[in-house]
Structure 1
């Protein structure tokens, strides 16, 4: 960023200082310069190295949103806004922002300046709407307003997704306390947990409940939570059972999803148990134990239905059809959901697996919410 400054001696005016900024033509930064008094449009042009003539347009970006023209002989009040933009008298560009038409005297405009012009805090982002699709713009990304057609833009509140113990959480503020995140994901924070922050390309970092996660940090993926074994027996983790082996791809899928799972045998049936399975909002309880019946000749034979303990119910009170089947696994009664694959989506041993059946579970849960 280049800097241009003027001193009181240069202008031979009293020394009270005001800082102002000029948006450069290429819109990749600001030219900064200091004024010792309320500058006129001509002063601003001179300090920025622009010719002082009638073809020049000086516009002040107001703090409350919008633009205001500054005449060559008019004094600008920097309290109203300390950013200025230049153009030529015959060059004004138009765009739509949040449904309102706006003008801009330069060919390019950056996302952070769009927020300034809208009077919107920088905890928002800008979306470009084109051909029915919406694309987020990075703060320094620029829009070329000279392209054919009127550009349509809108401002939206920032949203970050943090996966905590397999549960996706949405945040509109970037700083998140680990304790609050665990509580939102329905973990009992009075118990002992091993808590790890997973950042792409880095070693996992063990964190405490008081740790503050900055979601703006590049590469943040999730918080992994596992029960902690402590010497006095409090919050002792239950031993994980592996009574039979799953396919390597199934193991990789379950581990990558940070799911706490077991394989157990009960008489002649093989069960995959997934603990603390998060039900979508609109169900109760928030978490349950999910069981999948894994046939002995899987994957040649399909995984069919799915089971919950405790039983899943809709918060609305509406009865869910075809969930009256029950099965007992090691003394625990599970609610069976009678959901089966039909044409043209029959089980395909070459492609279907635990991962695709989990997608079926999630689809069936979502469908009941839409009824």
Structure 2
């Protein structure tokens, strides 16, 4: 058995799982329990195979009935844990849980994966985090039939209580700097005309590309620029009319 660093006889499950080390018996175990905004706090349980009720109690939810506990799996999946159900936090690599004050769970689909949730609505920012993406560099869309998919803002709540299971997709987006203003762009390429349209001027006025060293280059009509995900373009490369 590998040696595990112990602080006051408490083993940090997240650190232990990351190192691939076996738990030492007779200790206490540090886990994280969050809320529906994925804001986590650290708690301690005395059992490496706790029940759902033990996790909820450790997190200060003394009235276990009326709460839903979701385990955050290592592969990004979400799994409801009943109060009398045990979870082997080391074998399954589970160090994070989400607790909800609720009497029922809801399901939704995110990037073709079916997930369980303990509230009847979910924030756009939380959907991005569940997809493993940086909220500042990604977008999430509610898929809709017979109409365009809806872009979900970070602070926007989407109901999960409808008759049908809601489907979402999340992906990186591109942040473009055009005359000092940031614009989100959903494709990996953009044309000169599209840059002008985002900037709010007629393409006949032209578009000038400005690199990080302030070198300028006139774009040609119909020219296609390949973008990189995230804010890198917003900080290193800008466009202006000209």
TM-score, normalised on structure 1? Answer: 0.37
Q: Deviations over 1:214-246 (max 9, x none)?
A: xxxxxxxxxxx688xxxxxxxxxxxxxxxxxxx
Cross-structure match for 2:174: 159
Aligned to 1:133: 148
Q: Aligned match of 1:18 in 20, 23, 30?
A: 30
> 1:153-187 CA deviation, whole Å, 9 max, x = no partner?
1112122122379xx996999xxxxxxxxxxx766
1:128 positional shift? 1.8
The answer to whether the 8 Å contact 1:92/1:103 transfers is: yes
Specify whether residues 75 and 8 from structure 1 end up closer, same or farther in structure 2 by C-alpha distance, changes over 3 A only: farther
Distance 2:159 2:184 in 1: 35
Secondary structure (helix, strand or coil) at the match of 1:42 reads helix
Structure 1 unaligned blocks of 5 or more: 1-6, 174-184, 190-207, 210-224, 228-274, 283-371
CA distance in 1 between partners of 2:162 and 2:80 (Å): 25
Does the 8 Å contact 1:126/1:156 carry over to 2? yes
Q: Which of the pair has the greater relative contact order for Cα pairs under 8 Å at 6+ separation?
A: 2
SS at match of 2:143: strand
- Where in structure 2 are the equivalents of 1:253-272 lying within 5 Å? none
CA 1:50–1:103 in structure 2 vs 1: closer, same or farther (change >3 Å)? same
- Normalising by structure 2, we get a TM-score of 0.53
Aligned to 1:278: 220
Distance 2:185 2:124 in 1: 23
- Is the contact made by 1:107 and 1:145 (CA closer than 8 Å) also made in structure 2? yes
Asked if the contact 2:33/2:59 (under 8 Å) is kept, the reply is no
CA RMSD of aligned residues (A): 4.4
Any idea what SS the aligned residue of 2:139 has?
Answer: strand
Query: Matched residues in 2 for 1:151 and 1:169: separation?
Result: 24
- Alpha-carbon deviation of 1:60? 0.2
For structure 2, the residue ranges without an aligned partner over 5 or more in a row are 1-7, 11-24, 189-207, 225-242
Structure 2: how far apart are the matches of 1:157 and 1:59? 26
CA distance in 1, matches of 2:121, 2:109: 14
Which among 77, 82, 100 is matched to residue 66 of structure 1? 77
Structure 1 stretches of at least 4 aligned residues deviating more than 6 Å after TM superposition = 168-173
From the superposition, tell whether residues 76 and 116 of structure 1 become closer, same or farther in structure 2 (CA, over 3 Å). farther
Counterpart Cα distance in 1 of 2:121 and 2:186: 31
79, 87, 111: which one aligns with 1:98: 111
**8 Å contact from structure 1 (residues 59, 68) kept in 2:** yes
How many angstroms does 1:20 deviate by? 0.4
Matched, 1:77 2:89: yes
Conserved 8 A contact 1:162-1:169: no
Residue deviations 1:56-111 (CA, integer Å, cap 9, x gap): 54220123221233343524416734332345896222323334543322212223
Kept in 2, the 8 Å contact 1:111–1:140? The answer is: yes
| Aligned position for 1:110 | 123
3-state SS, counterpart of residue 127 of structure 2: helix
Larger radius of gyration: 1
Kept in 2, the 8 Å contact 1:61–1:116? The answer is no
The correspondence of residues 351-362 of structure 1 with structure 2, limited to 5 A, is: none
CA distance in 2, matches of 1:95, 1:36: 30
Does structure 2 retain, via aligned residues, the 8 Å contact 1:128–1:135?
A: yes
**Aligned 8 A contact 2:37 2:126 in 1:** no
Corresponding residue to 1:33 among 25, 29, 42 = 42
1:45 to 56, 59, 77: 56
CA contact (8 A) 1:163 1:169 kept: no
